[in-house]
Amino acid sequence: MSTTTRVGRIMTFTAKPGRGIELARIMMQVAEGLRGSLGCQLYLVSRDVESPDTVRVVEAWTDFASADAALATTVATRPDIDLNDVLGMLAEPPEQIDLNALGGVGL
């Protein structure tokens, strides 16, 4: 097991029918905005194979404060990302699972 402290987050976004690709594109813009952000070790955007309108984001950070600050800054400073647009395409509220990352391949 790694002795480095990391936290993880798994986000699940369920888009309204037919809007999964559009939602995934916006989440990829968020990912690009996070490139080089302090504390961000992983921000992986994926579409569910069996439910293409479901987008999952797997994150790894040094701490939750860094995650929250980086995400807020990215959304606030990127004119191509409108939080209201994202919320408008969701069929239900996003699901957030916070984790204490223990280690493994890739981190």
- pLDDT tens digits, 60-103: 999 999 999 998 888 888 888 888 888 999 999 999 999 998 88
Whether this prediction's pTM lies above 0.85 is answered by yes
CA distance 23 to 44: 14
For position 3, what pLDDT does the model report? 56
Q: 25-46: per-residue pLDDT in tens?
A: 999 999 999 998 999 999 999 9
Q: Would you tell me which CATH number, out of the four given (3.40.109.10, 3.30.70.100, 3.90.226.10, 2.60.40.10), belongs to the domain 6-101?
A: 3.30.70.100
Domain residue limits, the chain = 6-101
For position 103, what pLDDT does the model report? 81
**For residues 50 and 106, which has the higher predicted lDDT (pLDDT)?**
50
